[in-house]
Amino acid sequence: MNKFRRVFFDYLMVPLGMPVLAAAFAAYHVSGETGPASYATLREAWPHLHQPTRDAIADAMNKGQISHWDYANLFRLTLTDAGALAMPESAGTAADERAKLQAVIHPKL
């Protein structure tokens, strides 16, 4: 057992440990909120989208924010549906752009 431990620490710890650490960091990173430019892109594309894509965006916003992981799928859906996307600069923070997207999704009558 001592010999196995020695071989593991000498030869296997870095090759096995680094991918595990990278996967843990990646899982943490993609679970975070997307940036303000992402919200602005979805907001600008909203008038050009069909109802299934709009429903997907509205469902993602029901959680209160959009994660990096969810945005990747929404971006693909939006690009496929609209054909082209305007990539505007965001004028504020993620909270500001999130509020603007919410206003587009649920306009006040």
Q: 64 Cβ partners below 8 Å, 6+ apart?
A: none
pLDDT tens digits, residue range 73-102?
A: 999 999 999 988 888 887 789 999 999 999
pLDDT tens digits, residue range 11-52?
A: 888 888 899 899 888 888 878 889 999 999 999 999 999 999
Q: How far apart are CA 46 and CA 107, in angstroms?
A: 12
In contact, 67 and 75? CB cutoff 8 Å:
no
Q: How far apart are CA 24 and CA 79, in angstroms?
A: 29
